[in-house]
């Protein structure tokens, strides 16, 4: 089994001072790739940090600069950069593929990785469906028509040569029968579980416990500046937050906020803090995540304005989880604002993906 490029790069950086030559073959040379990665890292420091997508300035943690990095950090930076270069080359090849490379056009989709432990635990049929659905190689009516030259139709509505998008996300008969609504509700139920845990944790905290402590310094001692992003205070501690979810029965919007016929999927509010969160979930085709976000923002813009006129501090969160299980960056943004980090964030994202 051929070692990964990041491992080879790490080996090269470790033995560079010993003037040892790493035999990596004719197609890939560790010395050249490491030098290229170091040049990119130094150039990135000159350019500075930029944000992508809908991320605001300062939303993500500041990167480790090459000039200020320790020896170990430089090794990790080079290994990560070599891996990124390899992924960029693979992406260029994927863009040239009209059908199997459609995933390169997805906007607002968080990256999804399956580790080896999950790879061996997943059922074979589940994993096969995930891979073939991502690259559109499932036997949909349109693919069968291309492969075999015969006319095929959707089993539910009879649409001739229906695409995979039609089967998984666009069939009107499936929508009428509640199949697509059932999938939406399954993802919403899992999202509600995550939000409920956050709500209970915040309500159990004392208000005084959320205040930051003052750190005093001795004379001449330099100040310690933390590189961590400050908490968003999305849910104020000790404010007795309440939550309603649009599952089963139709959600009645809290009258103490304002009167409306609109029904967001989740409403989190606190009368003590005079604050509310409106969360609207969409499970669209992955190519339509950005359009779904803009559509939901426009739908609830008047409701947000009306709540603010009533004296409430309101934040609207349209979130998306793709029909094939790819979580939108808006969903990750919400979970991060709720102070989910590390293993908790990965676990919550994974559960939402598997529900879809």
Q: Where are the domains of the chain?
A: 5-96, 116-176, 181-206+234-355
Q: What is the largest CA-CA distance in the chain?
A: 83
Q: What is the CATH code of the structural domain delimited by 181-206+234-355? A: 3.40.91
How does 287-306 read in b/e, with b if 16+ C-beta sit within 10 Å? bbbbebbeebeeebeebbeb
d(CA 3, CA 350): 27
pLDDT in the model for residue 25: 60
Per-residue pLDDT of the chain (356 residues; tens, 9 = 90+): 455 666 656 655 565 555 656 565 666 777 888 888 888 888 888 887 776 666 666 556 677 888 888 889 889 999 888 888 888 888 888 888 878 888 888 888 888 878 888 888 888 898 899 999 999 999 999 999 999 988 889 999 999 999 999 999 999 999 999 999 999 999 999 999 999 999 998 888 765 444 455 666 666 666 655 544 444 568 877 778 999 999 977 788 999 999 999 999 999 999 988 999 999 999 999 999 999 999 999 999 999 999 999 999 999 999 999 999 999 999 999 999 998 888 898 899 999 999 99
d(CA 260, CA 306): 9
**DSSP state letter for 242:** E
With beta carbons less than 8 A apart as the criterion, state whether 349 and 110 touch: yes
Any residues with CB less than 8 A from the CB of 126 and at least 6 apart, and which?
A: none
Q: What is the pTM of this model?
A: 0.75
pLDDT in the model for residue 55: 60
Give the sign of the dihedral formed by CA 14, CA 16, CA 22, CA 26. Answer: positive
């Amino acid at each position: 089994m051929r070692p990964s490029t990041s491992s080879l790069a790490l080996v090269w950086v470790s033995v560079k001072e010993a003037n040892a030559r790493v035999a990596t073959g004719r197609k890939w040379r560790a010395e050249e790739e490491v030098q290229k990665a170091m040049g990119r890292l130094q150039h990135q420091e000159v350019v500075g940090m930029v944000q992508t997508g809908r991320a605001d300035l300062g939303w993500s943690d500041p990167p480790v600069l090459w000039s200020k990095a320790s020896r170990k950090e430089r090794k990790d930076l080079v290994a990560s950069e070599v891996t990124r270069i390899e992924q960029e080359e693979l992406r260029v090849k994927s863009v040239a593929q009209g059908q199997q490379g459609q995933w390169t056009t997805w906007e607002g989709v968080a990256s999804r990785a399956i580790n080896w432990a999950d790879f061996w635990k997943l059922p074979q049929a589940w994993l096969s469906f995930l891979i073939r659905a991502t690259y559109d190689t499932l036997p949909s009516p349109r693919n069968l028509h291309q492969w075999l030259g015969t006319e095929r139709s959707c089993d539910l509505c009879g649409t001739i040569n229906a695409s995979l998008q039609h089967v998984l996300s666009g069939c009107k008969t499936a929508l009428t029968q509640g199949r697509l609504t059932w999938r939406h509700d399954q993802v919403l139920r899992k999202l509600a579980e995550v939000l409920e845990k956050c709500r209970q944790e915040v309500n159990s905290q004392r208000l005084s416990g959320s205040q930051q402590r003052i750190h005093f310094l001795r004379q001449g001692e330099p100040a310690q500046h933390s590189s961590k992003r400050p908490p968003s205070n999305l849910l104020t501690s000790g404010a007795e937050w309440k939550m309603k979810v649009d599952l089963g029965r139709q959600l009645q919007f809290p009258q103490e906020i304002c009167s409306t016929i609109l029904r967001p999927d989740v409403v989190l509010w606190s009368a003590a803090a005079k604050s509310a969160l409106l969360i609207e979930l969409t499970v669209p085709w992955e190519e339509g995540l950005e359009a779904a976000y803009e559509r939901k923002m426009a739908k609830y813009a008047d409701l947000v304005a009306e709540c603010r006129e009533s004296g409430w501090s309101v934040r609207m969160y349209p979130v998306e989880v793709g029909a094939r299980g790819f979580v939108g960056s808006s969903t990750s943004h919400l979970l991060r604002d709720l102070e989910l980090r590390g293993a908790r964030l990965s676990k919550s994202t994974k559960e939402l993906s598997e529900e879809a």
